[in-house]
Every structure is written in C-alpha cells, then in structure tokens.
Amino acid sequence: MKNLLQSILPFDSPRHFVDENTRKRFIEWDKPSRQIQISAVTALTAVLYLIFTFLEKSWAPANVQLLMLQLHIFIIVPLLLTISLLAYKKRFYNYVMFLISIYPIISISCHAYITTKLTNFGPFLIEGYLGVFWVFVISGITFRYALIAAVISSIILIVSSYFLMADPDIYAIHVFWIFCSFSFGFLAALIFDRSRKAVFISQQKLHQLALTDPLTGIFNRNQLNITINQEIGRALRYEKPFGFLMFDVDHFKKINDNFGHDQGDKVLQHIANLLKDSLRENDTLIRWGGEEFVIIAVEVEEQSLAVLCEKLRQKIASANFGPAGKVTISIGATMYQIHDTQDELLSRADKALYQAKNEGRNTAIIL
C-alpha cells in the first residue's frame, strides 16, 4: 500500500514518525484543525438530520416516521450537538475523539433498527452508505479511530441487511455499495492522514532550518529570543533562576590565517560538539555569530554557574584540535536578575566577556 501511495502522490507519505516526541508534537499540531472540523461537521450533520426528520416520507408508515423522529431528536441530534460544543475546548479533545468514534456506531445501529420496521427500505439505505463515507472523510476523526468505527458500522449494515433482504441479488448489490463507500472512504482518509503528516514534517524541517546553524548543527541566534523570553517568563512566575554565558574563541583570526578557513570551521564544529556533550539536556547552546557562542543555563545559582564556566573552559583547553593545536575560550557570564530585559542581560554578559579578554583570555568572569 505504501509503494502504491508513493507512486500516485506528489509527496512523501510517512506512516510512522521517527520518535515518540515527534509523534506527540504532531498530535498537538493536528488537534486545532481537527477540533474545528469536528465542531463544524457535527453541527451541520445535526441540522441535516433535523431537516430529514421533518421531510415528508411517503415511503415510510406513520409509526416508522414517529420512530425516526424519536431516535433522531432524542439520540442522534443531541449527541451531535454535544460533540460540536465540546470540540470548541482543547481540554475536551480526548472526550470528543471518543464520542465521535462511537457516534457512527450508534447512528448506524439506529439506522439498522429503523430499516427493520420498513417494508420499502430502498430510499433509506443511502444513509448507511453515506454514514460509512462520513466516518472516514467528513467527520474529522483520526484515521485509526475512523477505521475501527467504519469497520463496525459496515458489519452492522451487512449483518442486519442479511436478515431483511430476501433477494440474494439485491443483497449482493447492497454489500457492493457498502464496500464502495468503505473503500473510497478508506483510501481518501489514508491519503489525507499521510498528507497531514507530510505537511507537518515539512514544516518541522523548515522550522529546524530557520533555527539551526548550518555549520555546527546547534541553534542560531534566531532561537535566542525564543529561549530567553521563555526563561524570563519562568523566572518571573516560578522564581527559577538561570545563567547566561557569552564566550568566543581566543585568537580565532590567527587560526584562520595560519591554517585556513576550513580548519577554522572544523575548530568551531569541534567546540560545538564538546559543549553539547558537556551541557545538560535543558541548557541551550547557541552560535551567536562567527566564533562567538552563548549558553542559557537553567536553574543554576551563581556558584554552580561559576563551576559550569570553569568546566567548559577546561574542556576546551584540554581538547586536541588537530593542526590548530590547543584552543582556548574566554567566557563572560551573568545571572538573570529580576526585571532584567534581554538587552540588559546581554550587555552585562558582554561586559564580562570584554573583561575576561582584558585579563589575558582563557578565563571566565561573572558579573
């Protein structure tokens, strides 16, 4: 099936995500549009059921029309409107997905029950075919839930009709139309599911490119505003301190002049890798530009910030950089102070870095 889809679709059709975090991000990305679709579709479906209920149906006896009215007014329409209202709220998403998964089964069961009361059930069969297609394509339900609901609904239609249709040829045609609605709906839902995943993955790649330094593979300065604003917000709300480090490679111009820019790039890549291995998962490493880097270290005190600065300085100073030999860095660091702006934080770290260079480089200053 994957090869078939790939041959007819103009995009990659991913079935699974590479890791659990990506899958969770996709679900969060996917929720808002599904909520809108589910809310609008269920409201429209409720209105259409109301219209159908009050249409003149000469092919149905009066008692069956009353049965339709009762089932539609007291079961189908209230359930649809409840789903539509709940879908507005993100916190009800899981409940909404469950309700809209069981709704087609309830609806098709009501349909099958009404059909048993009809002698001329031909005009009423179309609802069943539409119901299966509705589950897959219209409802907004996720593919896995849609598949389960559509399979159960189709089985209900096929089994109940077996006891109603005496003519085998008519029953065979009926099953064929169910198969048509199921297969068209299944294929459309599968393509739609894969296309949404492909769009999400493409957006993630573009987002990653926008925030990633192509040389070192770490964040670029576009990420700085995002991370600092997040940490300032956390510090104000939860009194979570964080440190800010700014450093650059000592005498980097000499490395480029003596060994070439290719070797200079390798030095920067090596430094980035060493720093990534030395930082905690929640700390953020950013290439500020050229040979300059910044680090946002979360939940640290001034003493632990000093320990971190010395650890990073020694890590670089003790590393082997091949033809470039020994390489050192100068570090300027500061702690976030309540009501600091981003500019004030950067300015204080920059002054500390300037002081570290004036004191002979290969050192760390905290202001």
Instruction: Assess whether pLDDT exceeds 80 at residue 314.
Output: yes
Per-residue confidence at 12, pLDDT binned at 50, 70, 90?
low
Alpha-carbon gap, residue 207 to 225, rounded angstroms? 15
Per-residue confidence at 15, pLDDT binned at 50, 70, 90?
low
* Range in 6-15, 129-138, 247-256, 292-301 the model is least confident about: 6-15
pLDDT at res. 241: 86
Per-residue confidence at 240, pLDDT binned at 50, 70, 90?
confident
SS3 for 255?
helix
On whether the CB atoms of residues 140 and 37 are closer than 8 A, the answer is yes
Per-residue confidence at 11, pLDDT binned at 50, 70, 90?
very low
The neighbour count for residue 243, using CB atoms within 10 Å, is 26
Residues 6+ apart with CB under 8 A from 300: 241, 242, 243, 308, 335
On whether the CB atoms of residues 212 and 220 are closer than 8 A, the answer is yes
Alpha-carbon gap, residue 3 to 127, rounded angstroms? 34
Per-residue confidence at 325, pLDDT binned at 50, 70, 90?
confident
Instruction: Assess whether pLDDT exceeds 60 at residue 268.
Output: yes
Look up residue 217 and give its DSSP letter.
S
Residues 6+ apart with CB under 8 A from 153: 104, 105, 107, 108, 128, 131, 132, 135
pLDDT at res. 159: 95
Tokens at 227, concatenated: 């991370």
Residues 6+ apart with CB under 8 A from 228: 244, 296, 342, 345
Q: Is 234 exposed, middle or buried (0-12, 13-18, 19+ CB in 10 A)?
A: middle
E strand or H helix that includes residue 149: helix 143-162
pLDDT at res. 27: 87
The per-residue pLDDT of the chain, averaged, comes to 89
Q: Is 26 exposed, middle or buried (0-12, 13-18, 19+ CB in 10 A)?
A: middle
Q: What percent of the chain has pLDDT over 70?
A: 95
Alpha-carbon gap, residue 143 to 165, rounded angstroms? 32
Buried b (16+ CB within 10 A) or exposed e, 69-80: eebbeeebbebb
Q: What percent of the chain has pLDDT over 90?
A: 51
The amino acid occupying position 307 is V
pLDDT at res. 296: 92
Can you tell me the mean pLDDT for 295-320?
90
The neighbour count for residue 273, using CB atoms within 10 Å, is 14
Domain residue ranges of the chain, discontinuous segments joined by +: 2-210, 219-366
State pLDDT tens for residues 74-119. 999 999 999 999 998 888 988 999 999 999 999 999 999 999 999 8
pLDDT at res. 98: 92
Residue corresponding to tokens 């040389």: 215
Instruction: Assess whether pLDDT exceeds 70 at residue 211.
Output: yes
Alpha-carbon gap, residue 62 to 68, rounded angstroms? 10
Alpha-carbon gap, residue 104 to 189, rounded angstroms? 16
Instruction: Assess whether pLDDT exceeds 80 at residue 9.
Output: no
CATH topology of domain 219-366: Alpha-Beta Plaits (3.30.70)
What are the distances in angstroms from CA 23 to CA 18, 92, 199, 311, 342?
8, 20, 13, 36, 33
Instruction: Assess whether pLDDT exceeds 60 at residue 3.
Output: no
β-pair type (329-335, 364-366): parallel
Instruction: Assess whether pLDDT exceeds 70 at residue 191.
Output: yes
Instruction: Assess whether pLDDT exceeds 70 at residue 4.
Output: no
pLDDT at res. 365: 86
Residue corresponding to tokens 């589910």: 38
